[in-house]
Structures are given as C-alpha cells and as structure tokens.
Amino acid sequence: MNEQASEPRSTRRVTTGHDARGRAVVVSDEMLEGDPRARVVWGADAAPALREDGGQPEWSDWWPRPGGIRVSLCQRLPEDGGQAAASRGLPHAWPDIHDGAGFHASTSVDVVVMLSGEVTLELDDGVVVRLHAGDSLIQNGTRHRWRNHGTGIATMAVIVVGAVPRAEQES
C-alpha cells in the first residue's frame, strides 16, 4: 500500500445472504458514496436480525441509540492547516459535535482499529497517544480529537456502539 497517498480511497462493500435453497451467496457488491473522512459501511439502531437478502437494517443517522451500531471507515489527511479538505470543498464531518478546535465527544463506546498510517489522539488533560497501523483504541465517550501529523492518509476502522448516558446510570 502506498503510505504517501494524498487522495482518500473509495470503499467497496460486499454483502452476503442466502438464495432460495438456503445456500450462501453474494447479494451485493457496490462502491459506497459519501464523505471518505467518515463513511458508514453498516449500521443498525437495534440488534440486527439475520436477513436472507443481506439487506441493511434500519438506522437513522451517524450516532446510534443505546444498543445500536455503526461501522465505518475513517480517513484522516495529513495536517496542512485544513487546506486539503477545504480544497476539495468538504464540510466538517460532524459540525454538530465538534468545537472550534476539533474536540468532540459522543454517547457511545467506539472501537477504533488503525489500518494504515498513524494518528494522534488528544484528550482533555493534555494526554497525547500516537496510534499506528495495527493499534486499537476503546473510546468510552470521552472528549477527544484526532490529528494526522504524518505524510500519508491514516485509515481507521471504527465501530460505534450506542451507550446509555452516565446521567441515566445513576439511579
């Protein structure tokens, strides 16, 4: 893989299901559209049921309700003062939760697996953690931001599981 790539990659999704005889088959093979910085590959707002047609369960938006799930591929371009995204006309991926410095938090447990490149995770207290290809992170609803100080695109597989908010647990 070319670690010096400067253009986000497209995402192919192959989905399996069953034919009329109950045999495993490929029911779709497609290229996904959308923002490559955070492209949802699969989602469900509740525990999904196995479907013969391999169809995607119902889901409403990026953030799952408690027990819901989103699976995505996220790509971070090398830092250049924001010029790379701006030159492509890309809006901020999640304008509803980011502050001006890019910090954000959600009511979810996120499982992050670095597929390529490296990113820096920054937390409220100044802690900085560098993640490289093969590393994983469990993000427990904490306020954080991502930075790519490298020279190539960083790609992360992210599984977001909707969680019960802390305030609702204290009863």
Name all domains of the chain by residue range, CATH numbers in brackets.
36-169 (2.60.120.10)
pTM above threshold 0.85: no
pLDDT tens figures, 142-166? 888 888 988 899 999 999 999 888 7
For residue 119, CA distances in Å to 1, 9, 43, 122 come to 17, 17, 25, 10
- DSSP 3-state assignment of 98? coil
How many CB atoms are closer than 10 A to CB 112?
19
DSSP letter, residue 14: E
pLDDT tens figures, 63-120? 888 989 999 998 888 875 444 444 444 444 544 455 667 787 888 999 999 999 999 9
Instruction: Specify the pLDDT at position 24.
Output: 92
Q: Are 118 and 154 in contact (CB under 8 A)?
A: yes
How would residue 170 be classed by pLDDT, with cut points 50, 70 and 90? low
